[in-house]
Structures are given as structure tokens and as C-alpha cells.
Structure 1
Amino acid sequence: MRLSFLAKAPMAALLLISQHVLAQQPVSNGVEMADRLRADGKIWVVVTVIAAVFAGIIVYLIRLDQRIGKMEKEVKDKSLVNSR
């Protein structure tokens, strides 16, 4: 079922207005969890874990790139040998 432009316009207007109204709501007291972690000094544990995860992802992607480059080189060499 396709909606005509006249049926879509009120829905789009309602969506845009509701987003604008909800975006204007003030933040009450900030984020309690983050404040508590900062107060206890545990925020650094969270930062360390996130940094370790990102470092692991970066190392994985670098190794994957090296393996793929090696395979591409092997395929290229094989295709050169077969074309002769």
C-alpha cells in the first residue's frame, strides 16, 4: 500500500516536531553512573578496557590486511605463471 504525499506530510511533520520537542528536554543531574565511576576512581578501569578492545581490533585488522596482501600476491604470481 503506497501512501500519497498528502498522507505522508502530516506524519513527517509530527515526527519532526516531536524530535524538536524531545531534544529540548533539560538533562536533570547528568549521568549518575559516570559520576559514580569518577568518584570511585573506576572510570580508568573502563577507559583501560575500552582502549584494550580497540587495540585488539586494530592489531587484528593489521594482521588481516597482511594476510590478504600475501594471498593477493600469491594469486598474482600464479596468474603470471599460468599466462606464460
Structure 2
Amino acid sequence: MKKITFTLLMLLATLNLFAQGSQVEMADALRSNGKIYVVVVCIVIILVGLLGYLFALDKRLKMLEKKSADKN
């Protein structure tokens, strides 16, 4: 429940960033060429990889903590 609340809070905190105009020339050029989707896909792949690694690491740590608690 805390994770969901924290995530929603962070999403709400970024809403004011969307109020600014999008006058970035590089983004406009990438958008007009259709290459912006390649950039977005690359960013999503990197983020999914990082999240997968963090969840796998968390799972291993929980397993080690459980083994440590069982020995004591």
C-alpha cells in the first residue's frame, strides 16, 4: 500500500511539468522523422531491465534473509 501511495504521489508531483510548452527543436525533429519512437523504446527497455534487475536482487535478498532467520 505504501508503494502505491508513494508512486501516485510522485506522479502527481510531476503534473506541473506538463504545463510547460514543448518547444524543443530536437524533439520536434525526432517527432517529425518518426525517430522519437525509437528513443522511447530504448528508454523503456533500459528502465524495464533496471526494474527487473532490482526485483531479482530484492528476491535474492529476501531469500538470504529468510535463510539467515531460519538458522538463528
Shorter-normalised TM range: 0.5 to 0.7
Match of 1:39 among 13, 26, 32: 32
- Counterparts of 1:35 and 1:76 in 2: how far apart (Å)? 55
Q: Which has the larger radius of gyration?
A: 1
Matched, 1:64 2:57: yes
Structure 1: which 5+ runs fail to align? 1-26, 80-84
Q: How many residues align?
A: 52
What's the C-alpha RMSD, in Å, of the aligned pairs?
A: 1.5
Cα deviation for residue 43 of structure 1 reads: 0.1
TM-score normalised over the length of structure 2: 0.68
TM-score by length of 1: 0.58
